[in-house]
Amino acid sequence: MGKLPKWADYALIPFLNVLLAFFVSGLVVLFIGEDPIKAMGIMLKGSLGSPRAIGYTLYYATNFIFTGLAVAVAFHARLFNIGGEGQAGVAGLGVAFVCMYVDWPHWSLALPAAIIGAALFAGIWAAIPAYLQSKRGSHIVITTIMFNYIAAALLVYMLVNVIKDPGSMSPQTRAFVPGSVLPTAKEMLGWIGVDFPRSPINISFLLAIAACFGVWILIWKSRLGYEIRAFGHSESAAGYAGISGFKITMIAMTISGSLAGLMAINTVMGEGKRLVLDPVEGAGFIGIAVALIGRSHPLGVFLAAILFGMLYQGGFDLSFDMPKVSREMILVIQALVILFTGALENLVRMPVTRLFLRFTKGAA
């Protein structure tokens, strides 16, 4: 197959894939007796129609950026980290410990500590499957999935037996100390005199953007990233070059887990202000789709995360305004996006490549 220009590879093809997914979704909506154009309108309005809607969309997108970057980093080392869900859950514990037991004077001190707590817990949680893969030969896809369940059980145990708020009926911690509450977009924009409505989006969104930039530097500019990519492309060649596969597997997975863990900063520290059961709500799995669509590039991950944020937030409005379209319908649309961008990617890639070949040949 010939070569595509980068912009077509990274932008045009994912865009066409998403378009195709929406087209099929439209057919499904049509099939259950609703107007797909109208449904599209509701979703767009619900996700981008007001500052508040945008706030919600970006709040969800923040989660997906972190979990998407997590999958992307591991994937550069050809490691398929399916464990974002569990890693982010365990990170919730790390955040909770930091924000419950220290009386922080100001959020700007609590935030770095919570980042370390989240990254430490999630990083270790991801490092165990990495160790098992490189030393014991247990496949990382299997172990990371299993660790999702272990994490869920651990969370239940901790919330029911260890760190439960005695005054509460539900398995959750007490509220975090006031000094650990992160500034929301409303507050931050208020500092510069912009009026923004109340929504869960908080400073974590900026952290997510910084993480995108950081991952870009790591993967394409640093020596470690060079070694991670080399190992990912060819394990045997990496061995020849003196790059330790064990080291790369451990480091890549720890970084990957830590990134997934940062999601807990957004949900647990930024929005919940206490740890509840299932603080991840499936974002770990959506991260896989986000990384796939974003082709494991931070910019792609960012854009794909925004798209999924829109689907998530717009989906709420859709199921509210169109009773026939249930919450599950949103899952169907998400699934179609994953199907067309992941599994059926060649459906679009082959004809586009052929078209480009014909075009370049005509020009030659």
Partner 1 sequence: MGRQETVAPAIELKGISKSFGPVQANKDISISVRRGSIHGIVGENGAGKSTLMSILYGFYKADSGQIFINGKQTLIPDSQAAIAAGIGMVHQHFKLVENFTVLENVVLGAEEGQRLGPSLAKARALLVELAREYELEVDPDAVIETLSVGFQQRVEILKALYRQADILILDEPTGVLTPSEADHLFRILRNLRDQGKTIIMITHKLREIMNVTDTVSVMRRGQMTATVHTTDTNPAELAELMVGRKVLLRVDKKPAVAGDVVLEVNDLRVTDSKGVVRLKGISFQVKAGEILGIAGVAGNGQSELLEVLGGFGRATGSVKVRGTAINIASAAQGRHRREAGISHVPEDRNHLGLIMDFAAWENMAFGYHHEPKYIRAGGLMDQAAMLDDTIGKMERFDIRPPNPRLNAQSFSGGNQQKIVLAREIEHNPDILLIGQPTRGVDIGAIEFIHQQIVALRDAGKAILLVSVELDEILSLTDRVAVMFDGHIAGERITAETDEKELGLLMAGMMEGAA
- Residues within the interface to partner 1 (CB under 8 A): 2, 217, 221-223, 226-227, 229-230, 233-234, 236-237, 239-244, 246, 357, 360-361, 364
User: Cα separation of 26 and 39, whole Å?
Assistant: 8
Nearest residue (CB) to partner 1, 82 versus 228: 228
Residue (230 or 283) nearer to partner 1, CB: 230
Closer by beta carbon to partner 1, 109 or else 217: 217
For residue 5, CA distances in Å to 26, 349, 352, 355, 357 come to 30, 12, 11, 12, 11
**Partners of residue 276 on adjacent β-strands:** 172
CB closer to partner 1 out of 242 and 323: 242
Q: Which is nearer to partner 1, 170 or 222 (CB)?
A: 222
* Minimum distance from residue 1 beta carbon to partner 1 (Å): 10
> Which of 355, 357, 338, 353 is CA-nearest to residue 20?
338
Q: Please tell me whether residue 5 adopts helix, strand or coil conformation.
A: coil
Q: Which uninterrupted H or E stretch holds 150?
A: helix 140-157
Instruction: Tell me the closest approach of the beta carbon of residue 350 to partner 1, in angstroms.
Output: 15
Residue 234 dihedral angles phi and psi, to the nearest 5°: -155, 105
Q: How many Å apart are CA 185 and CA 180, to the nearest integer?
A: 16
User: 34 or 227: whose CB is closer to partner 1?
Assistant: 227
In the chain, the largest separation of any two C-alpha atoms, in whole Å, equals 76
Smallest distance, partner 1 to C-beta of residue 363, A: 9
**Smallest distance from the beta carbon of 58 to partner 1, in angstroms?**
30
How far is the CA of 96 from the CAs of 14, 180, 194, 197, 268, in angstroms?
38, 10, 31, 27, 8
Q: How far is the CB of 210 from partner 1 (least distance, A)?
A: 17
Output the smallest distance, CB 297 to partner 1, in A. 14
